[in-house]
Structures are given as C-alpha cells and as structure tokens.
Amino acid sequence: MRLPASPSLFIKLPLVLSVIVATVAATIGTAMVVQDRNRLRDELKGKALLLARSVAVTTPELLLRGDTWALYKVLRQITQGPEREGEAATVAAMVVDPNGKVLAHLDPAAFPIGLPAAVAGTEEHRLLDTALAMTEPGVLDGPGFVEGVTPVHTAGRTIGIVRVRLSTEELDRKTADAGLTVFLLSLGMTMVGSLLGAAWSVRTVRPLRRLARSMERMGRGEVTLLPVSRRDEIGQLVDSFNRMAVELDEKRRLEAELAANEKVIALGRIAAGVAHEVNNPLAGMLNCLSTLRARANDPALVAKYLPLIEKGLQRIGALVKDLLIELRVEDAHEAADPSCLEDIRDLVAAEIDPARVELGWDNRLQPGDLVNRPKMQQVLLNLMRNAVEAMPTGGCLACRFWSERTDLWFEVKDSGHGIAEDNLGRIFDPFFTSRPNGTGLGLWIVLRLVRSMGGTIDVDSAPERGTTFRIRIPRETDLVAQPA
Amino acid sequence: MRCLLIVLCLATMWLGAARAEPPIRFGLTAAVVRENLDLYDRLAAYLGRKVGRPVEVVQRRSYREAMELLENGEHDFAWICSLPYAKYRDSERIGLLAVPVFRGAPLYRAYIIVHRSSPIQNIAELEKRVFAYSDPDSNTGYAVPRRMVNELGRNPDSFFRHTFFTYGHTETIEAVAERVADGASVDSYVWEFLAHHGSRLTTDTRIIGQSETYGFPPLVYRVGVDERLRTKMADALLAMNRDPDGQALLGELMLDRFITPDPSLYDGVRRNLDRR
C-alpha cells in the first residue's frame, strides 16, 4: 500500500514552527490591542463624562438667569481647551433644554440657539431622545464619538442637559497603529521562527535522511555504519541503527547459512523420498524383468508382467513430473489479474463429470487484486484436483476468492470424505498420500508455493463432512508487481 | 543723634500718612474696550501722576453695578455709558467730568453687525434670529436697536427668537463673530478700536446699519467728591492732548482729546431712554 505524498520534514518543521509562532504572536497581540482599545475607550468615556459634569456644575445659575453668552463661554472654555497631540478632539458640546432645544452649542452656526438640536427621524434625534431621558449622568456611544451626558437639576427639576462628545478618531488611529505594530512584530517573529525552524530541521533531518539512505542500502544487503555525531535522541537512534545493522547483518548471514543447510537437508529428504518411491516399483520391475528373461518364451508371463512394468514406470513418471512442476513454478513470478484463475476452473471443469460433481465458483477479486499467476494457478489446480479425488461418489466443489485490505483469500471446499484425524498433521509432508496412485507431492507443492508467496494455509476437515482449504496471501504490492 | 532720631520719626510719620491716603478708584465699564487693561493701567498711572495720588482702575461687569459703586461712594470717578449718564444727570448724584472727542467730535453711534458670511442686509431681516445685547443700561448696545425695531412697527420683546446680554461690546462682537448671535448692535467706538487693531472679531463681522450719532460715553464724577481733586482730575484730562505722554495715550485710545461739553449733548440719548 502506498502512503499519500507528504512534504519533507525540511519544509514541514519550519512551516509548523512559523504557524505556531504566528498564531501565538497574533493571538497575544490581538488580545493586547483589544484590551488596550477597551481601556482607552473607557478612559475616553470617563473624560467625556467628566467634561459634561464640569459644565453641568457651572451652569445651573446661568441657565436660570438665561445668561446665554456666559453659558456658551463656559461650554467653550471647558470643552474646547487647546488641542494637544494625542488627545481626543471635542466633536461637539452643547447644552439643550428639556425639550431638546439648543441653549448653547460649540457650533452655533450649525445649531442656532432656540432651535431643536436634531432633526426628527434621524440617528441624531434618537441620541438626543436618549440623552433627554437620562436622569443621571451617563455615557452614550455614537458613530465616531462617545458622548458624556449630564442633566442639570435645580430644585428637583431638570433645567438643561449637557452633552459633550469626544472623537474616537484618535482612539481608532492608536488602535490601528497598535494593530500594525502587532502585525509587523508577528511577521518578524514568524520570519525568525521559520529561520530557526529551517536551521533546526536541517540539523534534525540530515541525520534522519542519512539513516533512511542507509536503511535503503541495508534492504539491498549493503550494511553501512553511520557516524554518531551527537548524544540526543537522534544520536541514540543512529547508534541503535548501527547496532541493529550489525545484528541484522549477522542474522542474515546465519539465515543464509541455515537456509543453505535446510536446503541441503530438504534436498536429502526429497532425494531419499524419491529414491524410496522410485525404488519400490523399480524392485518389482527388476523382479519382473528377471523372471521374463528366464522364461522369455512364456507369453502368459509377458502378458502378466508387462502391464506391471508399465505401471511402475508410470508411477516413476508421475513422480518426476510433479517434481518438475515444483521446480518450474518455485521461482516463477508473473503478476496478473485474478481472472487468470478462470483458466483453472475451465481446466478442472473439463476433467470432471458435471453430473457427478457440482462446481461452485465465486471469484470476488477485483481486477486490481493482482496474483502471482503461475503459483496461484498451480495451487488452485492441486487443491481442486484433490477435492475432486476426495469425492469419488460425487459432491459439491465450491471455490470462493475475496480480498480484504491487506490480504487476498482463496477458499476451496469440498463435500468429500474428509481427512482422517490421524492424517491431518501429515497431509503436507512430501510423499504422504492416502491414495494408492498418489505421489504425495500435491499438497507439499501447495504449501511450498503458498509460503513462497508469504502466505498461510489452513485446513478444516472432518471425516465424511468434507474439507476446506483456506489460503491467505498478502496483497501483491505495486513494487512486487513491477517486472523485475 | 537726637536730631537723627527726630528725622527718622518724622520720616516714618510722613510715610505712614502717605500710605494712609487711599487710591482714587476709577470705575470702568463696557463703554470702553476693557480687554486692553494695560492701556487703562497706564492711563490710571498718568492721571495719578497728574493729580498726585494713585489712581486705580476697577472693572465691573454691568453698568448698574458701576453706577451703584459710584453712587454709594466706593468710586469717585467712572467712565460710563451715555444712557446711565442721561438717566442720572438730573439726579444730582453725578456730574460730567469730561467727554472724549472721537474722530473730531464727542459723538459715537450704534453699528448693527452680522457675521461676515451672513446673508442678512438690514435689521428687519434679523426677525426670528438670535440677537445679542451688551447691557440693559447700554445706549448703543440695547436702547438703540430696540428703538430701531420699534420704528419697524414691531415689538422688540418678541421680534427676535432669542436675545441675551454679553455685558461688553467686545463680547457682543465676539458673539456675532462666533455666530452665537445672528446679529447685534455695538458701540461704534469699540468696533472701530478693534478694527484699527486688526482684531479677528471685526474682520469676522460686517456692519449692515448704523444709528444717528449720540453723545460719547462720558467720564463722570460722584457728587460729593473732593472739589480740588475733581478739578485736578478734570484739568489732567482736558490737558492730556498738550502733554507728550498724554498725547501718546490718547493716540493709543484713538481719541483726539477730552472736552467739557454741555449736558444737552445727551438729549438724544435721553429720548432713547424714554422709549426703551
């Protein structure tokens, strides 16, 4: 199975580090800017309220006396001091009567005395109504300003309302400045973060890459030891890798030796089996020949012994054929679509009597589920022929193939006489057979081929209830499927 | 030694006596440009030198206050508006000390002013507008415009939408310059004085009308003030244009000289008083 492509750690590490740094910096910066803005706005509100209250404290007498000019001057003096750098400007300041008419306004040209302070139906009028309804000093929010409102009371009666508006422009400008600073700072920190990340990733990834290359070489059988240049986890990893490489090399050498030994032993066993299997008919045949040579003119003997000799030779021929099959298929490899198995079905179907044996075929493998054609065909052929042999009086032969995520499954099931419990442990041994004319190599070949494909085989059988062989083969990967 | 002691004693007594003599209090009202205090301090110092006693200029917000101070003896002299003079001249409480000559005559008038950018062309168009008065006891700043509205056949109490007092001609001009008031009537001398000094207040205002002339705001004395002091003060004022320092001060005040006119100069003001 191929993993999805993923960018190198060389890129990922600095990227992740940059993202983390940027996120942290931006979050903290934004929080600070927001907090700062809230604080400044609260301050501005406090100032607007203070100004309104200052005017209100001075005005009751002026309002009662109707001293418009003094009222205007007080309003101007308190709310329109000399503007200093970085201070909020007074957008507007006014004293209105309880009906909303102007008593004094900082902009008398636009808001003449004695006329309503706002046109009905406007946002401005809504604000005016809110201010008029206030019985206690308070602060209102408006577009681009905060408004401090203080009613002027005398003898329990409201005689005027002081409204002072301070611009939030300076505030917005400060916030924008702070935002820009935070942005630039975040950017700077992110750049530093990515540089650090790049440096770090170079330091981290370089030995990992060397390790990966070494491992790759090790897969090809070359063992290279890497220098241990540091004492951190990566150093430990390289150290472990070196030890593993040495051990693996040793193991591989031992395995090769063992395999060679096993091969010699197996070869010896096969040779002994072959010798034994050949020797049995050979002895009978030699006996026959000896008898025939002594009584060569006896036609009755010729008629009796020639078939015996022929049978013996055929048995030897069958043995050789099976051995040749095993030798031929053992190293074969050809990845093919699972439809190649249909050939075996057709072959077996041609050999059986459909009236006697019912052949079930359920191939659910998909075109992409590649199989090793020569081996799988041989495995299937042997199992199916065995199954047919196990049902001399007829029955049902069912083949079912399916795939799972990592494995392909092959199941061959018959309803024959089953395998005796005593024999169950020996059926895969070479030259073991329960049939008089069997070579005892069929299942041995199956086992060897399944193992050579890295798979396993299970057998489930009970006398008179039939036998099921279930084979699991790891999926042929693309790598294996490529022509060697 | 004894002689020295006696001299010291005498000196102390003389100094104490000199210190005990109170300064002459000179009341100043909206009739003049009160903002230019330094100028009046120098005028006071000049007069002090001439009469041989310190003179102190005292400002009061309203004419009424100034008049009361004059009446109850707090002040001996005052520069008041023509209207209070016309009102009190027959009361035997105040007397005419001297009258300034402004641009050739002891006369001034009322200017009806609006803001430089205002479309208003005459006083009739100021109906339902905001109008600034200077003082209820002012001639040009109160009585004259009300007479003008009266002459339009309208009631001055309801002609304007809103009126208010500023208690100073300069402030009245400022109220119009700042557009708090749509129009106002001010003392021509004050307006010209400010205009002469290039004040922003006059460049921001425009004259749309003027009244006939009236007797210039006079300098008065309290009846009962020391006769010699009064004569000294009158002499000092009348001789100012012949003294270099006095001439310089007069120049700064934009006045030609001081004269002693006949009280009938204020008959015109008197008529306004009746119809106010």
Per-residue pLDDT of B63-111, as tens digits, reads: 888 888 888 888 889 988 898 888 888 888 889 999 999 999 999 999 9
pLDDT, tens digit (0-9, with 9 covering 90-100), for A369-379: 888 888 888 89
| d(CA A80, nearest CA chain B) in Å | 14
Q: What average pLDDT does this structure show over A32-60?
A: 91
Nearest to A69 among B129, B161, B164 (CB): B164
> Contact A418/A463 with Cβ under 8 angstroms?
yes
Among chain A residues, the shortest Cα distance to B160 is held by: A114
Q: Which residues of B touch A109 (CB under 8 A)?
A: 115, 179
Q: Which pLDDT value is given to residue A481? A: 41
Q: Is the Cβ of B180 closer than 8 Å to some Cβ of chain A?
A: yes
The yes-or-no verdict on residue A48 having pLDDT over 60 is: yes
What percentage of chain A reaches a pLDDT higher than 90? 22
CA dihedral sign of residues A69, A70, A71, A76: positive
Please name the residues in contact with B179: beta carbons below 8 A apart, sequence gap of 6 or more. Answer: A108, A109, B115
Averaged confidence pLDDT in chain A: 85
pLDDT, tens digit (0-9, with 9 covering 90-100), for A434-448: 877 778 888 888 988
- Report which of residues B35 and A315 the model is more confident about: A315
Q: What angle do CA A459, A464, A466 make, to 5 degrees?
A: 35
- In this structure, of A14-18, A130-134, A286-290, A329-333, the range with the lowest mean pLDDT score is A329-333
Q: Which of B128, B135, B162 to mutate to test the interface with A (most CBs of A within 10 A)?
A: B162
pLDDT, tens digit (0-9, with 9 covering 90-100), for A183-225: 898 888 888 888 888 888 888 778 888 888 888 887 777 777 8
- In this structure, of A48-52, A194-198, B230-234, the range with the lowest mean pLDDT score is A194-198
> Contact B111/B144 with Cβ under 8 angstroms?
no
Q: Is the Cβ of B135 closer than 8 Å to some Cβ of chain A?
A: no
Among chain A residues, the shortest Cα distance to B167 is held by: A69
- In this structure, of A3-12, A243-252, A359-368, the range with the lowest mean pLDDT score is A3-12
Helix axes A233-294 and A169-219, enclosed angle (nearest 10): 30
Question: If you ran DSSP here, which 8-state letter would residue A116 be given?
Answer: B
Among chain B residues, the shortest Cα distance to A111 is held by: B180
pLDDT level of residue A3 (50, 70, 90 thresholds):
low
Residue type, B89: R
Tell me whether residues A69 and B179 touch, CB distance under 8 A: no
Q: What is the 3-state secondary structure (H, E, C) of chain B?
A: CHHHHHHHHHHHHHHHHHHHCCCEEEEECCCCCCCCHHHHHHHHHHHHHHHCCCEEEEECCCHHHHHHHHHCCCCCEEECCHHHHHHHHHHCCEEEEEEEEECCECEECEEEEEECCCCCCCHHHHCCCEEEECCCCCHHHHHHHHHHHHHCCCCHHHHCCEEEECCCHHHHHHHHHCCCCCEEEEEHHHHHHHHHCCCHHHHCEEEEEECCCEECCCEEEECCCCHHHHHHHHHHHHCHHHCHHHHHHHHHHCCCEEECCCHHHHHHHHHHHHHC
Averaged confidence pLDDT in chain B: 87
Q: Which pLDDT value is given to residue A457? A: 92
Tell me whether residues B182 and A112 touch, CB distance under 8 A: yes
Q: Which pLDDT value is given to residue B275? A: 57
Provide the pairing of β-strand B110-115 with B183-187. antiparallel
Tell me whether residues B179 and A72 touch, CB distance under 8 A: no
Residues of chain A contacting B, Cβ within 8 Å: 66-69, 72, 104, 108-109, 112-115
Question: If you ran DSSP here, which 8-state letter would residue A392 be given?
Answer: T
**Backbone φ and ψ of A393, nearest 5°:** -100, 15
Q: Which residues of B touch A66 (CB under 8 A)?
A: 164
Buried b (16+ CB within 10 A) or exposed e, A312-336: beebbeebeebbebbeebeeebebb
Q: What is the DSSP string of A169-205?
A: HHHHHHHHHHHHHHHHHHHHHHHHHHHHHHHHHHHHH
Helix axes B244-253 and B37-51, enclosed angle (nearest 10): 150
> Contact A378/A353 with Cβ under 8 angstroms?
no
Question: If you ran DSSP here, which 8-state letter would residue A420 be given?
Answer: -
Q: How far is CA B215 from the centre of its chain?
A: 12
Tell me whether residues A69 and B166 touch, CB distance under 8 A: yes
Q: Which residues of A touch B165 (CB under 8 A)?
A: 67, 69
- A-to-B residue pairs, Cβ atoms closer than 8 angstroms: 35
| d(CA B179, nearest CA chain A) in Å | 5
Q: Is the Cβ of B68 closer than 8 Å to some Cβ of chain A?
A: no
| Beta-carbon-side half-sphere exposure of residue A71 (alpha carbons within 13 Å) | 29
pLDDT, tens digit (0-9, with 9 covering 90-100), for B245-263: 999 999 999 999 999 988 8
Q: Which residues of A touch B167 (CB under 8 A)?
A: 69
Q: Which pLDDT value is given to residue A95? A: 93
Please list the residues that pair with B26 across neighbouring strands.
B57, B77
CA distance B205 to A403: 101
| d(CA B126, nearest CA chain A) in Å | 13
The yes-or-no verdict on residue B35 having pLDDT over 70 is: no
Q: Which pLDDT value is given to residue A2? A: 55
Element (H, E) at A410: strand A407-414
Please list the residues that pair with B184 across neighbouring strands.
B113, B132
Helix axes A68-79 and A9-58, enclosed angle (nearest 10): 150
The yes-or-no verdict on residue B112 having pLDDT over 70 is: yes
Tell me whether residues B180 and A68 touch, CB distance under 8 A: yes
Q: What is the 3-state secondary structure (H, E, C) of A67-86?
A: CHHHHHHHHHHHHCCCCCCC
Among chain A residues, the shortest Cα distance to B173 is held by: A69
Please name the residues in contact with A37: beta carbons below 8 A apart, sequence gap of 6 or more. Answer: A171, A174, A175, A178
| d(CA B170, nearest CA chain A) in Å | 12
Q: Which of B114, B126, B164, B173 to mutate to test the interface with A (most CBs of A within 10 A)?
A: B164
Q: Which pLDDT value is given to residue A482? A: 40
Among chain A residues, the shortest Cα distance to B172 is held by: A69
Q: What average pLDDT does this structure show over B13-33?
A: 66
Tokens of B180: 């708090």
Q: What average pLDDT does this structure show over A92-110?
A: 92
CA distance B28 to B43: 12
Q: Which residues of B touch A72 (CB under 8 A)?
A: 175, 178, 180
Tell me whether residues B164 and A112 touch, CB distance under 8 A: no
| d(CA B127, nearest CA chain A) in Å | 13
| d(CA A141, nearest CA chain B) in Å | 27
Q: What is the DSSP string of A85-104?
A: TT-PPEEEEEEE-TTSBEEE
Residue with tokens 């329960």: A434
- In this structure, of A42-46, A427-431, B59-63, the range with the lowest mean pLDDT score is B59-63
Q: Which of B180, B186, B201 to mutate to test the interface with A (most CBs of A within 10 A)?
A: B180
Tell me whether residues B175 and A109 touch, CB distance under 8 A: no
> Contact A106/A73 with Cβ under 8 angstroms?
no
Q: How many CB atoms lie within 10 A of CB B148?
A: 21
CA distance B224 to B8: 37
The yes-or-no verdict on residue A324 having pLDDT over 90 is: no
Q: Which residues of B touch A67 (CB under 8 A)?
A: 164-165
Q: Which pLDDT value is given to residue A113? A: 92
Nearest to B164 among A68, A109, A112 (CB): A68
Nearest to B180 among A67, A69, A115 (CB): A69
Task: Cite the beta strand spans of A364-406 per DSSP E.
Answer: 371-372, 395-403
CA distance A182 to A185: 5
What percentage of chain A reaches a pLDDT higher than 70? 96
Among chain B residues, the shortest Cα distance to A72 is held by: B180
Q: Which pLDDT value is given to residue B276? A: 52
Name which of A407, A395, A392 is nearest A458 in CA terms: A407
Please name the residues in contact with A237: beta carbons below 8 A apart, sequence gap of 6 or more. Answer: A207, A211
Nearest to B179 among A66, A109, A114 (CB): A109
Q: How far is CA A229 from the centre of its chain?
A: 33
Q: Which pLDDT value is given to residue A112? A: 92
Element (H, E) at A408: strand A407-414
Q: How many CB atoms lie within 10 A of CB A385?
A: 16
Q: Which pLDDT value is given to residue A235? A: 83
Tell me whether residues B130 and A113 touch, CB distance under 8 A: yes
| d(CA A67, nearest CA chain B) in Å | 6
CA distance A204 to B242: 104
Q: What angle do CA A26, A31, A36 make, to 5 degrees?
A: 125
The yes-or-no verdict on residue B16 having pLDDT over 50 is: no
Q: Which residues of A touch B130 (CB under 8 A)?
A: 112-114
Name which of B239, B252, B254 is nearest B98 in CA terms: B239
Nearest to A108 among B166, B171, B180 (CB): B180
The yes-or-no verdict on residue B33 having pLDDT over 70 is: no
Q: Is the Cβ of B53 closer than 8 Å to some Cβ of chain A?
A: no
Name which of B105, B178, B28, B185 is nearest A109 in CA terms: B178
Q: What angle do CA A359, A364, A367 make, to 5 degrees?
A: 120
CA distance A427 to A383: 12
Q: How many CB atoms lie within 10 A of CB B182?
A: 25
The burial class, CB within 10 Å (0-12 / 13-18 / 19+), for A247 is exposed
CA distance A217 to A262: 27
Q: Which residues of A touch B166 (CB under 8 A)?
A: 69
Among chain B residues, the shortest Cα distance to A73 is held by: B175
The yes-or-no verdict on residue B129 having pLDDT over 70 is: yes
Please indicate, yes or no, whether the overall pTM of this predicted structure exceeds 0.90: no
Q: Which pLDDT value is given to residue B39? A: 87
Q: What average pLDDT does this structure show over A25-29?
A: 87
Provide the pairing of β-strand B162-165 with B130-133. parallel
Among chain B residues, the shortest Cα distance to A68 is held by: B164
Q: Is the Cβ of B99 closer than 8 Å to some Cβ of chain A?
A: no
Q: Which residues of A touch B178 (CB under 8 A)?
A: 72, 108
Q: Is A458 helix (H, G, I), strand (E, B) or coil?
A: strand
Q: Which of A62, A68, A105 to mutate to test the interface with B (most CBs of B within 10 A)?
A: A68
The yes-or-no verdict on residue B163 having pLDDT over 90 is: yes
Nearest to A69 among B129, B132, B182 (CB): B132
Tell me whether residues B165 and A114 touch, CB distance under 8 A: no
